[in-house]
Every structure is written in structure tokens, then in C-alpha cells.
Amino acid sequence: MSELETQGSGWELPKGAQPWSSFHWFRVGARESLSLVLLSERPTWYLGHYVEGRMVPCGGIPCELCGEGLGSQARFVFAVCEVTTRRVGLVEVSQSVAELFRMWEAEHGGLRGMWVELYKHSHSVRSRTECRCVREDPGHWWRSLEVPDPGVALELTWRKAGFKRSRSGSRVSARPSGSG
């Protein structure tokens, strides 16, 4: 994705721009589950490396972390709304959880409007995240919500974390620059 324009004239925002300046990332707590309605029509994925307790985007070829022999894993990102607070944000899941979404998507007839609950396998944030599908109608309140673009959210989040991408491609500096 190219650099976002942050200013311009006219009514039309450039492609990729949206009225979001920050994004909320939902995380599954040790003891409370996350109850989410999916707002995305399809998943957004990226390949990442797990480094020092966090996911770092794979920089493509060449990637320093691939070069170090660190395996990459697919991560799937969805725009969601939390059912109790009705807060809109994003959630990132592993490929195994995404496979469940995919299975339920077929039953549900689409991702959008599907109600899922994410929780930890044991009462520890380090334990694996599990998921179940809530087979109830969440109602229609979520239909009018603005849907954040997961690709833009990832880009901004990585930029804030100091992962730099070159303009020409998807190359990422694997190490945070440290400035913030």
C-alpha cells in the first residue's frame, strides 16, 4: 500500500483514506471473552514473525527475520464491533481461528453479521485463543456502522510502531526504529 495522503481538496477522499485517525485493536483478556460481530466481508491477511512477544510484519524479500531463519505465520484481520459496548475496531486472529470463521461463514452465508466469541483456553493471556460461533441473530444495529479498513489499520499501526515500509514495495524494516 502506498503512503496515505493526509491533505487535499474536494469532497472525495483518496482511495484508502477514511475518517479514522486511530484504530482500536481488541485483545482477548485472560478471564473475559470478547463478543464480536464481524463487519468485514472478507478477511485481510499478512505474514508475520513473532518477535519479543509481538507480531512483526514479514518484510518480504529480502526480510531480515526470514534471513535469521525465523518462521513466519499467517495472521488474519477483521473489522468487528464489540457487542456489549458497540465499539468498532479490529481483531487479529491466527490461521486456525480464521479457519473456524471460514467454516462458519459457509453456514452463515457470509462473514458480515456473524457473531463470534473469542476466549483464552486457560485463564492466561499466553494461552491459545479459542473461538465459538454464537448462533443467534445479533439484531440489525451493526449494519449502519462505518467499517474500518484492516489494511489501513495495519499500515498505520505498523508505522506508529516504527516499522518502516519503502514506498516502492512491501519491504519492512524488521526492527522497530525505537522512536515510537
Which residues ranging from 23 to 62 are in contact with Zn ion (CB under 5 A)? 58
Q: Is 65 in the site for Zn ion (CB under 5 A)?
A: yes
Q: Which stretch binds Zn ion (CB under 5 A): 64-72, 98-106, 118-126, 151-159?
A: 64-72
Q: Which of 63, 77, 118, 154 binds Zn ion (CB under 5 A)?
A: 63
Exposure b/e, 48-85, CB count within 10 A at least 16 = b: bbeeeeebbbbbeeebebbeeeeebeebbbbbbbbbee
Whose Cβ is closer to Zn ion: residue 39's or residue 65's? Answer: 65
User: Taking a C-beta distance cutoff of 8 angstroms, is the pair 155, 3 a contact?
Assistant: no
Bridge pairing between strands 54-57 and 44-51: antiparallel
Least CB distance from residue 49 to Zn ion, whole Å?
A: 6
Whose Cβ is closer to Zn ion: residue 17's or residue 66's? Answer: 66
Least CB distance from residue 35 to Zn ion, whole Å?
A: 34
| Residue tagged 503512503 (cell numbers) | 3
Whose Cβ is closer to Zn ion: residue 65's or residue 118's? Answer: 65
Say how many residues touch Zn ion, by CB under 5 A: 4
Q: Quick one: which of 73, 43, 77, 68 has its CA closest to 56?
A: 73
DSSP letter (8 states) at residue 172: B
Q: Which stretch binds Zn ion (CB under 5 A): 15-23, 66-74, 97-105, 136-144?
A: 66-74
Whose Cβ is closer to Zn ion: residue 51's or residue 145's? Answer: 51
Which triple of cell numbers denotes residue 132? 465459538
Cα(145)–Cα(150) distance, integer angstroms: 15
Whose Cβ is closer to Zn ion: residue 119's or residue 158's? Answer: 158
With residues binned 3-state (H G I as helix, E B as strand, rest as coil), the percentages for the chain, rounded to 5, are 20, 25, 55
By CB under 5 A, name the binding residues for Zn ion.
Answer: 58, 63, 65-66
